[in-house]
Amino acid sequence: MTFVCVPDFACNPLIQQAMALLPILIYPDPRLQKIAAPVSRVDAEIRQLVADMAETMYAAPGVGLAATQVDVHLQVIVIDASDDKSQLQVFINPQILTREGECEGEEGCLSVPGIYDNVVRSASVRVRALGIDGEVFEMDAEGMLAVCVQHEIDHLQGKLFVDYLSRLKQTRIKTKLIKHHPRLTA
């Protein structure tokens, strides 16, 4: 068994959990369009979900993962935008409070494998969420972290980065992914 230790919470036993890899939904799976429900209580089940999501994200490998992507429609995201993958951040019921500036950059997604395209996002955001301990926190994010937060919150709202692209690009991406993943249908 593998155990996760989230640095921000100093290896609190509440977040040391046995982990499992979860299957990631692939676009255009309609379950990716479901809107996630708020988490009513951060309990052992949610902490286990966070541990499993972290394991899945790191194994993929990815920078962020929303519960929607693993067919759990709760407002939970995990992100590690650090270079050495040592700064796992957990956001439960995240809300963007403020947005500033604008930046355009190339994005990809674990649910849209092998596809990358430019998306315009806010350059910085202020976020409020619950942490793994169930306590409310607020933080400012900029650069890569700001992009990741916005990208993952979009998933919780049933939106993917490809939804920002033209219909023609969306159709081409669907066709390509269906060809490489025969179980998918448009």
Question: What residues are annotated to the active site?
Answer: 152
Termini Cα distance of the chain: 37
- Tell how far CA 3 is from the center of its chain: 20
Q: CA neighbours within 13 Å on the CB side: how many for 17?
A: 20
Q: Are 73 and 67 in contact (CB under 8 A)?
A: yes
33 DSSP 8-state letter: G
The length of the chain in residues reads 186
The Cα–Cα gap between 176 and 67 comes to: 24
